[in-house]
């Protein structure tokens, strides 16, 4: 078990959506020495920059959150970039952390690593039973290699690396850029704009039948830090809420929260992505006591409220 007092902890991607919450959670648990350098300081795709970061910061614990991420559209447009950048960041950072004698390495993967037709709820033992959904397979496989690497380094040299599989995240501070946002921020922005412009309908990608599970970002941070603190095993662990909702129902719920009364127009020429997505979260609860706390409608309301309050700044940043 990690005692945070006196531990120097490096959080890659620490200034991002999830990273900021992880840094806050570490602070609440008594970690007074947290380093969260930005991409401009160290480009982790570059091996020299990775080695320099570890030499400069000298951490005891590394929590690797940095990633190139995006929705279905971004993954389809840039599959090579999503594969290469994520593979190189993770593989080099874990290798150099091992070489530097890091005490513990927390690799944060993705639900996109699961096979396309995984039985619901997704159990960690099903992770290798097929190929991921095609629209985000390069990203999912690149992140999945962190599990292979963690288990190999643990077996050969006893390196304490763990691997977590968080489900789709949402919450205040999310990315609302229409070019690469995920489904919840994308829909919130579309619905808010449709209400303001009095549009008769909002376009939603796919049939609406696909399902997703969502985890409030603050809960995700709690789960990751709890695992970093209490879990030292080789097996992958899901981090989720255990709640499944269809894209149709999700869009309807967002419309009700925003107060939009137009139609939802489902564009069936666009991909659904993975047909269903919902995790078995029993392993996380049993092994390190994590269970999601935020009720989905409440978390969604917080996210809409945050977007409306921060919209001018968000839109200005997107257009720059």
Residues tagged active-site: 139
Q: Which residues contact 174 (CB under 8 A, 6 or more apart)?
A: 17, 181, 182, 184, 185, 217, 303
Alpha-carbon distance 276 to 287, whole Å?
26
- Residue 93 near residue 12 (C-beta atoms within 8 A): yes
CA torsion through residues 78, 81, 82, 83, sign: positive
Three-state DSSP at 266 gives strand
SS3 254: helix
Q: What angle do CA 279, 249, 143 make, to 5 degrees?
A: 35
CA gap 165, 249 in Å, rounded? 25
């Amino acid at each position: 078990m990690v005692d945070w007092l006196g531990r120097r902890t490096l959080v890659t991607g620490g200034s991002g959506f999830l990273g900021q919450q992880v840094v806050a959670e570490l602070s609440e648990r008594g970690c007074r020495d947290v380093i969260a350098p930005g991409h401009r300081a160290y480009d982790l795709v570059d091996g020299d920059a990775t080695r320099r970061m570890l030499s400069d910061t000298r951490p005891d614990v590394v929590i690797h959150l940095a990633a190139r991420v995006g929705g279905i559209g971004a993954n389809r447009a840039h599959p090579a970039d999503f594969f290469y950048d994520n593979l190189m960041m993770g593989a080099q950072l874990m290798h150099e952390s091992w070489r530097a004698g890091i005490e513990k390495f927390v690799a944060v993967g993705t639900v996109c690593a699961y096979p396309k037709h995984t039985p619901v709820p997704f159990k960690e033992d099903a992770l290798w039973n097929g190929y991921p959904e095609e629209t985000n397979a390069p990203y999912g496989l690149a992140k999945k290699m962190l599990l292979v690497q963690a288990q190999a380094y643990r077996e050969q040299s006893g390196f304490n690396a763990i691997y977590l599989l968080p489900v789709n995240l949402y919450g205040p501070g999310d990315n609302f850029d229409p070019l690469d946002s995920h489904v919840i921020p994308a829909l919130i922005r579309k619905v808010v704009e449709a209400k303001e412009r009095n549009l008769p309908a909002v376009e939603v990608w796919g049939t609406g039948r696909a399902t997703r599970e969502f985890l409030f970002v603050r809960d995700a941070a709690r789960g990751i830090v709890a695992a970093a603190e209490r879990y030292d095993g080789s097996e992958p662990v899901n981090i989720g809420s255990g709640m499944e909702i269809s894209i149709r129902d999700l869009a309807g719920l967002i419309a009700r929260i925003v107060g939009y009364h137009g139609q939802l127009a489902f564009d069936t020429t666009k991909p659904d992505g993975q047909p269903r997505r919902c995790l078995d979260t029993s392993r996380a609860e049993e092994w390190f006591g994590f269970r999601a706390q935020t009720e989905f409608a409440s978390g969604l309301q917080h996210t809409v409220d945050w977007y409306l309050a921060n919209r001018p700044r968000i839109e200005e940043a997107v257009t720059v």
